[in-house]
Amino acid sequence: MEIKNFKYALPKEGFSDIRYQEYKNTLIKGTKEKIDEVSMIRKNGGNVRVLKGGGFGNYAFTDPADVEMAFREATIASELNPGKETLKRVEFHMEHIRVSPEKDPRSISVKEKKDLLQKYIDLIMDNSKIVDLESQYYEQFTDTIILNNQGTEIRQEELICGMSFRMTSKEGTLTQMTRLSFGGTESFDELLNKEQEVKEKVKQTVDLLHAKTISGGNYDVILDSDVGGLFIHEAFGHLSESDNLIGNQTLAETMELGTKFAMKDFNVIDDPTKKGHPGSYVFDHEGTKAKKVSLITDGNLTGRLHSMESASYMDEDPTGHARAKNFGFTPIVRMGNIYIDKGTSTLEQMIQSIDDGLYLFGSAGGQTSGETFTFAVQGGYRIENGRITDMVRDISLTGHLFTTLKNIEMVGNYVEFSKAGGCGKAGQILIQSGKGSAPIKIKNMGIGGQ
């Protein structure tokens, strides 16, 4: 993979760029008993873009010999779009970024990785109430070249490894499922010595079999850091991705900077430059340097996430948030590491403030569509008269973004980040997407129970 093999093909007119990537993935998957799959995937390919007409033309390819054809097709596509758009805000960089993990997973044998995963599988299955388990070790190394006809020449390595588990407990006909993740960084160290966390999750999964169900309705809730991270990712993060605003004036008005969205103690940040999380990186897939963005400051909308195109459209600075799942996809605006920053309340104060409500733990996936969002949690506890009481199960939440943000009443005084990344948008699942939060209290949240 050499820069000169692609640089020559960049069309001079208008804006053009190419991202060529080599992927080396190792996936080790286990069942409840054994390791049944080891995949070592190698993929490489390129993605070119041309902006000569009224919009980008984009073409992906896997055979390096197709690079000239790809630029021709992208040029034709761009010219099909009437008009002549230009990028007003483009950064130029020439850098070579290399990974330097404390303990490089690529230097560890497949056997050692397998043995570690098997150790955790055995520990989980040691409890007879656990009847099913899906476990996975994943490792993804990417070597990316990003070139454009404005002078950018970047080569960037990225590395992420982690483990994830989905365990199911069963008693009679009742089953409960939870998730556990480690790692989400470039170092293998983060996966070692997790026995205690595994044991605690197993206990929680089994305890959920004796948890109570709740009636659907509206409750005052406290979201733990994991669920708070999922909430801010789904409910607000996607809306802060500014590619939504291109050509959509009405939405741009809804998202006008300065608009009051929440209480004064509420701050939301997206920071890809924060090291050691799934969404940490140096350059995005357009070659823009990643920046920390304050999205909500003291309850007011103060920033948004941009690609070069959306930054030009809004006449704001690019933030380095245009990324793609791989070379097969065009970069779109994605979150890096989004989090709700710490506030001033202790968890105890938050619990004491609720007479009849819920404390919810463990994210279990979510989705958003414009101003409404939904997500599921792994479980929770009832809060009665300011005290945690019974464990509860089978809970999902739904809400209207702007109402829910206004209903946030307290923000905890510490932030924790989830170890599992991952986000789907426009058919692209991106594992390098991080989230975190302080615990938060939201009043009057819609809960779907039994």
Partner 1 sequence: MQNLLNRALKVADAGEVYKRDVKTASVSLKMGKLKDIQGEKKREVSLRINKGDRMGFAVSNSLEDETIVERALVALENQESKAAEFPSESPRMVFSYSQEVEKLTTKDLTVMVYKLHDRLNRKAPDVPTAISIHKTIKRVALKNSSGFYESYDYSNLSISLGTITEKGFMGASKEFSSGKVTEITDRELDYLLEMHKLGRTQITLENERLPVIFSGKVMGALMLRVLGGVHGGNVLKGVSPVKNRIGEQVFSEKLTIRDDGKMNFGVNTCLFDDEGTPAKNTIIYDKGKLKSYLVNRDQAKKLGQEPTGNAIKRSLFSKEIEDKPSVFDTNLIIEGENREDELMIKGVKRGILITGVMGAHTGNINQGDFSLNISSGYLIEEGELKGQVKGAMVSGNIYELFKNVEAIGMRYEVMRSIFYHMGYSPMVLFSEASIVGK
Residues 139-168 close enough to bind partner 1 by CB under 8 A: 168
Considering only residues 299-318, where is the footprint of partner 1 by CB under 8 A? Answer: none
CB 392 within 8 A of CB 382: yes
Residue 104 CB, nearest approach to partner 1 (Å): 18
Candidates 108-116, 187-195, 200-208, 272-280; binding stretch for partner 1 (CB under 8 A) = 108-116
Question: What is the DSSP pairing of strand 130-148 with strand 153-171?
Answer: antiparallel
d(CA 310, CA 415): 30
Within its chain, how far is the Cα of 164 from the centroid? 15
Candidates 186-194, 214-222, 261-269, 282-290; binding stretch for partner 1 (CB under 8 A) = 214-222
Residue 284 CB, nearest approach to partner 1 (Å): 17
Which is nearest to 310 in space by CA: 260, 245, 252? 245
Residue 224 CB, nearest approach to partner 1 (Å): 17
Question: How many chain residues interact with partner 1 (CB under 8 A)?
Answer: 89
d(CA 343, CA 225): 13
Q: How many other C-beta atoms are found inside a 10 Å radius of the C-beta of residue 132? A: 14
Q: How many other C-beta atoms are found inside a 10 Å radius of the C-beta of residue 73? A: 18
What x-and-dash track marks residues 40-69 binding partner 1 by CB under 8 A? xxxxxx--------xxxxxxxxxx--x--x
Which is nearest to 193 in space by CA: 109, 107, 116? 116
Query: CA quadruple 309, 314, 315, 317: dihedral positive or negative?
Result: negative
The verdict on 394 binding partner 1 (CB under 8 A) reads yes
Considering only residues 330-349, where is the footprint of partner 1 by CB under 8 A? Answer: 330
Judged by CB, which is closer to partner 1: 77, or 87? 77
The verdict on 35 binding partner 1 (CB under 8 A) reads yes
Judged by CB, which is closer to partner 1: 233, or 274? 233
* Strands laid side by side in the 434-437 sheet: 300-301, 293-297, 268-270, 337-340, 434-437, 416-417
The verdict on 369 binding partner 1 (CB under 8 A) reads yes
Question: What is the DSSP pairing of strand 332-333 with strand 337-340?
Answer: unpaired
Judged by CB, which is closer to partner 1: 78, or 337? 78
Taking CB under 8 A as the criterion, the residue among 1, 97, 251, 314 binding partner 1 is 251
Considering only residues 230-249, where is the footprint of partner 1 by CB under 8 A? Answer: 246-249
Judged by CB, which is closer to partner 1: 68, or 195? 68
Residue 239 CB, nearest approach to partner 1 (Å): 9
